[in-house]
Amino acid sequence: MSKLLPGIALAAVLAWLARWLHGVPAISGISALMLAIILGMAIRNTTGVPKAMQDGIRFSMRRILRFAIMLLGFQISMSQIRQVGGLGFAIVVATLVGTFLFTLWLGRRLGVDPKVTELIAAGTSICGASAVVATNTVTEGSDEDVAYAIAIITALGTVSILLYPLASAAIGMPAASYGLWTGASIHEIAQVIAAAFQGGSVSAQYGAISKLSRVVLLAPVVFTLGYLATRRRSAEGNPAKVPTPWFLVGFLAMIAVNSAGLLNKAWTANLVTANQFLLAVALAAMGLETSVAKLRSAGLRPFLVGGGAWVFISVVSLGLIRVFYW
């Protein structure tokens, strides 16, 4: 355990600093998770990381990260999902599936590495950085693949915060429809809240609920990808089984606990706060393992995939809401 402490401590300090910086008005538009990655990358690509810290950094990237994703379940309850209604949930599911498949197709057309494409597809269609790192447990991309996918998704989600309220006002969207649109299509939970609140309390409520409905689909998507990866390897003559992401079983269990009301609101709020900090620790560690030179070598095409996926999810979800929900 003593070998792990220096690396974990460094990642934790960077996570705390990222959360503090997120509170600074001038940069509050950048999520704490993205700031954690940036701080980690800044150290890795300037001073470098001492070898004594490597074990703790890798532990943070893997064990702490999976525990944090499991705790994400405490933000979701089945009663919240029911509030968005069957039709709203159907729109969320259709948008997610359509975006994921479109992104995979676009990545193939542009010749982007399938692993990077899969990570971008997951982050765009489900829940941003959390989905990227959860998906990578079965996709098994490099640290640079994960960092690049998160950077693309964070940047485009931030643009959504600025553009969605303007678009809503221009076309006269009702508050509930606008909230559903933000939750069904914007990448990160924090970005959804920021955009939805600009439409008032009703749109903020619908945005949060529809986004959490989307997050609950993280588990079935990753399990499906793991199953497909196992089949693909078997077909290629390499029958090694993809590890089962058991932390997602825990994620579903936490949703069940939260739905049953087994913990009081104060405990749940503390667990949500802990979840956000642990995610920042894990992503700071990921930054500490990420080489800018390798990111640069990936080129512009992954960004074009992310941009295409962003346009697709924004337009398709708006179209479905306009036809079936408005």
Indicate the SS3 state at residue 31.
Answer: coil
Query: For residue 136, which of 161, 162, 118, 163 has the smallest C-alpha distance?
Result: 118
Q: DSSP string of 121-185?
A: HHIIIIITHHHHHHHHHHH---HHHHHHHHHHHHHHHHHHHHHHHHHHHHHT--HHHHHHHHHHH
Instruction: Read off the pLDDT of residues 115-130 as tens digits, 9 standing for 90 and up.
Output: 999 999 999 999 888 8
Indicate the SS3 state at residue 310.
Answer: helix
C-alpha–C-alpha distance, residues 137 and 225, integer Å? 10
C-alpha–C-alpha distance, residues 244 and 227, integer Å? 9
Q: What is the pLDDT along the chain (326 residues), one digit of tens a residue?
A: 678 999 999 999 999 999 999 888 887 767 787 788 889 889 988 988 888 898 999 898 778 878 887 887 887 788 877 877 888 889 999 999 999 999 999 999 999 999 999 999 999 999 888 889 888 888 888 888 888 898 888 788 878 888 998 999 899 999 989 999 999 999 887 788 778 877 887 887 888 888 888 888 888 888 888 888 777 777 666 655 556 667 778 888 888 888 888 888 888 888 888 888 998 898 888 788 877 776 676 678 999 999 999 999 999 999 999 998 77
The CA–CA distances, whole Å, from 98 to 82, 109, 172, 273, 315 equal 22, 16, 26, 32, 12
Name the one residue in this structure whose structure tokens are 């959860």: 134
- This prediction has a pTM of 0.79
C-alpha–C-alpha distance, residues 46 and 245, integer Å? 34
69 neighbors 134 (Cβ within 8 angstroms): yes
Query: For residue 119, which of 96, 88, 142 has the smallest C-alpha distance?
Result: 142
